[in-house]
Amino acid sequence: MSLVVRPCSSVEELRDALVISHYFGGDNRLEDAQWVSTVLRPERMHAAHQDGQVVGGAGAYGVPIWLPGGRAVASTGVTVVGVLPTHRRQGVLTAMMRAQLDDARARGEAIAWLWASEATIYGRFGYGLASLSAEIDLPSERAALRDPAPGPERCRLVDHEQALATMPGLYDRVAARHAGMVGRDRAWWEIRRLSDHPFRRGDAGPLHRLLVHRDGVPVGFALYRVRRGLQHGITQSVVKVVEVMGVDPAAERAAWRHLLQLDWMARIQADCLPVDHPLLLWLAEPRYLGMRLADGVWLRLLDLPAAAAARGWGSDEALVIELSDPFCPWNQGRWRLEGGTVHGTDAAADLRMPMDALGSAWLGGFSWRRLVQAGRAHAASEEAVDRADRLFRTDRAPWCPEVF
């Protein structure tokens, strides 16, 4: 029987399409699918059917992504992609990717992006590594700040409703400065960030919600949990940092100061941090951070003109690129980037690259100099590389603070 890929029409079908749970130790309960459907609508979940059985699933959040320059554009946040182990290497994933990207384009979403469970999967569908993500594991006795003096900020713990009323606005102010952050609506905040669902707790305790105030005005926040531990009467407890945001460096530092100085903790652990995090300069002994880098989000463009119009550019110079994109052939050809617009052209190309390389450069995570040196792009001249880097220049590393 032929393979059929179609969107789900109910929560029950969504449950069946969460094939990824086979690999993550889940059991596809209806109540879990109902919880997921609050932010992942059934019609945004594609299911692959064969011989009356669901053999694969691929979901997509319809969310904005913040781009360099402080603007957001409609995007497809790809998630929960999986194929049953009995149906691997039979074209199921390719069929789902085809249906998903066609659907996203029809919805007017300019960019598709994801966190890859396996780094070797998505390059063939045009996704390029667009950001890096840092994690830390810091012993509490080595968590002293270079300047330990507190600022005027004050911290207090708040409940769910107070957090929901305050934190989204603070987050949006930070997101406008960091390319790669995901736009969050109320449901996203309630389900994915502020929820204390057992699935979110993992091996740690309840979620703590911290607000940072300056002169009575909220300027930052932290979300964290504590994983309790004790051995021979000595604490082994760990602060598990979920997220820290500040509208300015002083507000963010105040939140981290609170976390680093919590009593009776052995370690502070965090992941999904930006690679240019100021902790490296705030700490007296940054080598003890145990900082490790991993791949962050992967990105591909679906609508190059729309994505270019939303992005901020480092210069007004013109650049002609020759783009190869066999999986989404409407992107192929030569394009002239100039003044925030993109138009087809017959002019000679300054740079030639596949779509995955353009995805790597789009948020500013990788320079064209690095991509050319790695053989991921080819330049007509050294001057063309310099011009491309001026055009794509950003002042901060891209950052997505959560895995979706």
Residues 352 and 321 sit within 8 Å (Cβ to Cβ): yes
CATH code for position 289: 3.40.630.30
Domain match, 191 and 268 both: yes
Burial annotation 50-82 (CB, 10 A radius, 16+ → b, else e): beeebbbbbbbbbbbbbbbeeebbbbbbbbbbb
Phi, then psi, of 393 in degrees rounded to 5 = -60, 140
Give the residue carrying structure tokens 């965090």: 270
**Band (28; pLDDT cuts 50, 70, 90):** confident
Do 139 and 266 lie in one domain? The reply is yes
In a domain, 194, yes or no: yes
Picking from 379, 397, 363, 125, the residue whose alpha carbon sits closest to that of residue 272 is 397
396, part of any domain: no
Tokens coding 351: 């740079």
CA distances to 27, 129, 168, 382 from 182, in Å? 28, 16, 12, 35
Tokens 């270079």 — which residue?
Answer: 146
First to last CA, the chain: 33
Structural domain total, the chain: 3
Q: pLDDT tens, 302-323?
A: 999 999 999 999 999 999 999 9
Domain check: are 290 and 308 in the same one?
Answer: no
Query: The pTM is what?
Result: 0.94
- Residues 235, 289 within the same domain: yes
C-alpha span between 404 and 391 (Å, rounded) = 30
Domain-located, residue 68:
yes
- What was the pLDDT predicted at 312? 96
CA contacts within 13 A on the Cβ side of 179: 28
Q: pLDDT tens, 170-186?
A: 999 999 999 999 999 99
- Rounded Cα distance between 77 and 158, Å, is 30
User: Are 83 and 152 part of one and the same domain?
Assistant: no
Closest listed residue to residue 238, CA positions, set 279, 212, 271: 271
Q: Does residue 269 share a domain with residue 151? A: yes
Residue 401 lies in a domain: no
Q: What percent of the chain has pLDDT over 90?
A: 91
β-bridge mates for residue 220, sequence order: 212, 246
Q: What's the confidence (pLDDT) of residue 27?
A: 81
Catalytic residue among 61, 171, 366, 404: 404
122 belongs to the catalytic site: yes
Known active-site residue 23 = no
Per-residue pLDDT of 360-377, as tens digits, reads 999 999 999 999 999 999
| Same domain, residue pair 230 and 167 | yes
Does one domain contain both 140 and 277?
A: yes
Do 155 and 286 lie in one domain? The reply is: yes
Cα–Cα dist 120/137, whole Å: 27
Q: Domain of 101?
A: 4-109
Structural domain contains residue 120: no
pLDDT at position 1 over 80: no
Instruction: State residue 200's pLDDT score.
Output: 84
Stretch 387-391: mean pLDDT, rounded?
A: 98
Structure tokens at 380: 């007509």
In a domain, 76, yes or no: yes
Q: 154-158 and 132-139 as β-strands: parallel, antiparallel, unpaired?
A: unpaired
Residues 166 and 286 in one domain: yes
Catalytic residue among 61, 122, 125, 127: 122
- 283 and 145 in one domain? yes
38 inside domain: yes
- pLDDT (tens digit, 9 = 90+) per residue, 225-277? 999 999 999 999 999 999 999 999 999 999 999 999 999 999 999 999 999 99
Residues 240 and 310 reside in one and the same domain: no
pLDDT digits (tens, 9 = 90+) for 323-382: 999 999 999 999 999 988 999 999 999 999 999 999 999 999 999 999 999 999 999 999
For residue 12, name the pLDDT band (cuts at 50, 70, 90).
very high
User: How buried is residue 375: exposed, middle or buried, by Cβ count under 10 Å (0-12/13-18/19+)?
Assistant: exposed
